[in-house]
Amino acid sequence: MRAEAQNTADQITKSLELLAQRLNVETAPYRLEEFNARVESPTLWDDPDAAQKLMRDRQALVDSITTYETIKQELADNIELIELGEIEDDAEVVSEAEEALKKLAKTAAQKELEALLDGEA
């Protein structure tokens, strides 16, 4: 992989590391499971304000997990495309995957900034 593409992939990886840390990726599925169990409670809407907060918190967690997993998968897919393109000597595939990596880097940087500012704005 060319140095520029490797640098872009490294930037995305650093953003992913920060997102994983902010999300606490190891415990996120358990927290989501807990939210889901609470959402299923028949008394959920006895306190509408608390129910709405629970639903907002649950959705924020779902969105964060989805964003993290999507960026992680797109990074892996594009790196694989670059490697396959290089093996097959297909410059067009490599170029397209490198462009996709650049777009992904912008998205990852934006999500990293949002994670850093979360709760402060």
What confidence tier does 119 reach under pLDDT thresholds 50, 70, 90?
low
Q: What is the pLDDT of residues 35-59, one digit of tens each?
A: 999 999 999 999 999 999 999 999 9
What is the pTM assigned to this prediction?
0.90
Give the pLDDT mean for 90-98. Answer: 96
pLDDT of residue 63: 96
Give the pLDDT mean for 94-112. Answer: 97
Is the model's pLDDT at 67 over the cut of 50? yes
> The domain 3-116 is classified under which CATH number: 1.10.3720.10, 1.20.58.410, 3.30.70.100, 2.60.120.380?
1.20.58.410
Q: What is the pLDDT of residues 1-30, one digit of tens each?
A: 889 999 999 999 999 999 999 999 999 999
Burial 92-119 (b: 16+ CB within 10 A, else e): eebeebbebbeebbeebeebbeebeeee
d(CA 21, CA 26): 9
Place of tokens 């006895």: 46
